[in-house]
Amino acid sequence: MPHVSIKHFPRAFTEDEKADLVAELTRTVTRVFGVEPGSVSVAVEPVAPADWTAEVHVPEIEAKAGLLWKQPQYSQPIPTEGSR
């Protein structure tokens, strides 16, 4: 069953933003994978800017580069919270 996992710099989301993100992701995933909405799960995990390289960039982007369908376009050093 499709599971979408998003890691991001911490920020507050309104209930409307959460609902919109879940609805749009679910709509796309169900269309592309040909599954029912009930089979889709979505996780959203904040990661502090200071931890991004160690917790996300190295293990999720560098180590799994062959699985990425879209590469990030940021350059080193990894952007900090103030430069997103």
Catalytic position from the list 2, 37, 46, 77: 2
Whether 2 sits among the annotated catalytic residues: the reply is: yes
Yes or no: say if 50 and 82 are a contact pair by the CB < 8 Å rule: no
At residue 82, the pLDDT reads: 56
**Given this model, what pLDDT does residue 80 score?**
64
Main-chain phi, psi angles of 74, to 5 degrees: -80, 155
Q: For each of the chain's 84 residues, which pLDDT tens digit applies?
A: 999 999 999 999 999 999 999 999 999 999 999 999 999 999 999 999 999 999 999 999 999 999 999 999 887 656 665 554
| Element at 44 (helix H, strand E) | strand 41-46
Report the chain's C-alpha Rg in angstroms: 15
Residues 40 and 26 sit within 8 Å (Cβ to Cβ) = yes
